[in-house]
Amino acid sequence: MADPAKKTVFSGIRPTGPAHLGNFAGAMRNWLALQDKYNCFYSIVTWHALSSEYQNSKVIKGYTYEMALDLLSIGLDPARCVIFVQSEVKEHAELHLLLSMVTPLPWVERVPTFKDMQKEMADKDLNTYGYLGYPVLQTADILLYKGEIVPVGEDQAAHLELAREICRRFNRLIGEVFPEPQMLLTETPRLAGTDGRKMSKSFGNAIYLKDAPETIRAKIATMVTDTRRQRRSDPGEPADCPVFTLHAAFVEKPRREELARGCRTAGIGCLECKGVVIERLLELLGSYWEKRAEFEKKPSRIWEILDEGNRRARRVAEATMEDVRAALGF
Ligand code: SF4
C-alpha cells in the first residue's frame, strides 16, 4: 500500500543490456536513495527500448530480466518500491495516444536530445514517428502514476519541462486530472569508458556491474589516462583524464583531492591512482555480487517480483485512466 503522506516518484530505465557503472552513477544509485522517502514507481521501459531497438526486438525480454536482476541486486526492495515492466501495463500506450492528441508538433521537434541521440546512435535509424514521440510516452509514464517528483539529470531536464507543459495543456483543455510533476535534479556524472569516450554499451567500452572483480581490475588497468603522463615523472591534469571521471563518481572528496594533487605534481603514478578507484569499486559492488549470486540460483524469482510489480502498477494506472476517460467525456 502506498503511503498517502509520501509524494509519488516515477522514473524509468531502458533495458538495452546489462547495467554499467554509468547507469549506476546516473540513475540507479539515486533510485536507491529515494525508495524510502517517496512512493516510488520504477519502470523498466521496454517500449522506450523498442524505439531504438525495433530491428532487434527479441533481445529486449532478456535485457528486461538482466535489468531487473541488476536493480534488485543493488538493493532495491520490492517491498519498499514498485518495480515493473512498462509494456505489461497497457495503459501507458493508451495515455500516450491521448496525450499525443493535445501535444503540438513543434514541442516535440524542439527537444534537443532528439538530434543528439540520433547522432550518438548513428548505426540505428531513429528517424521514426515512434522515436519523435519518445518524450510524449515519457510524459504518459509519469502522469499515469500521478507522479509528483521525477529525478532527472541536467541532460534530461528538457524532457521533463516538456512533460510539465503537456500536463498543463491537458489539464487546461480537457480537465484537471494530473498534478504537475516537479523536477528533482540529481547528480548524473558523465563517466568515461575504457577508451576515453562516454561510457556506453554501444561503444563497447563499458564496465558492467556484473563484471567479475578481475575483469574490473583489467579494464581499469588498461584504461586510457591523461596523455601528458608519458613517464611517471610527468605531471598530469585529472580534468583531462578519463579514469578520473570514475574517481569523481565513486571516491570520497578528500581522497579524490589528494589524488588530484598527486597527479598534478607527479607525486603519484597512474597505477597507484587507478588502484584507489578499483578498490573503491570492489568495495561498493561487494553486496551487489552477493545478492546477484542469490538471485541467480532462482531466476524465476525475478519474474515473480516483476509480475507483482506489474499488478501493483496496473491498479494505479487503471484508476488514473478512469479519471482521464471521465475528463474526456468518454
Ligand atoms: S594519476 Fe590518475 S588522474 Fe592523473 S593521469 Fe594518472 S590515472 Fe589520471
Give me ligand 1 centre to Cα 244, in Å.
6
| Nearest ligand 1 atom, CA 242 | 8
Candidates 273, 274, 277, 280: which one to mutate for ligand 1, based on the most atoms within 8 Å of Cβ? 273
Q: Give 156 Cα–ligand 1 centroid separation in angstroms.
A: 30
- Contact indicator for 28, 69 with CB cutoff of 8 Å: no
Question: Cα dist. 159→137, 185, 248 in Å?
Answer: 11, 13, 26
Rounded CA separation 297/320 (Å): 38
Cell of 36: 524510502
In a 13 Å sphere around the CA of 316, the CA atoms on its Cβ side amount to 21
Nearest CA to ligand 1 atom 7: 270
Cell 524469482 belongs to: 301
Unique residue bearing C-alpha cell 603522463: 229
Residues with CB under 6 A from ligand 1: 225-226, 229, 236, 238, 241, 243-244, 263, 268, 270, 273-274
Q: Say how many Å lie between the CA of residue 25 and the centre of ligand 1.
A: 20
244 CA: nearest ligand 1 atom: 3
Q: Can you read off the three cell numbers belonging to residue 109?
A: 521537434
What is the pTM for the complete model shown? 0.92
330 residues of the chain, pLDDT tens digit each: 678 889 999 999 999 889 999 999 999 999 999 999 999 999 999 999 998 889 889 999 999 999 999 999 999 999 999 999 999 999 999 999 999 999 999 999 888 766 666 666 667 777 888 888 999 999 999 999 999 999 998 888 888 999 999 999 999 999 999 999 999 998 878 899 999 999 998 889 999 999 999 999 999 999 999 999 999 999 999 999 999 999 999 999 999 999 999 999 999 999 999 999 999 999 999 999 999 999 999 999 999 999 999 999 999 999 999 999 999 999
Closest atom, ligand 1, to C-alpha of 229: 5
Q: How far apart are CA 296 and CA 121, in angstroms?
A: 32
Residue nearest ligand 1's atom 4 by CA: 263
Lateral strand order in the sheet of 39-44: 82-85, 39-44, 8-13, 149-152, 182-185
204: left (phi over 0), alpha (psi -120 to 50) or beta: left
CA 264 to ligand 1: nearest atom? 4
102 C-alpha to ligand 1 centroid (Å): 51
Strand-pairing partners, residue 10, are 41
- The preferred substitution site among 243, 247, 278 for testing ligand 1, maximizing ligand atoms within 8 Å of CB, is 243
Atom of ligand 1 nearest to the CA of 274: 7
Q: Do 152 and 159 form a contact (C-beta atoms < 8 A)?
A: yes
Q: Supply 258's cell numbers.
A: 589528494
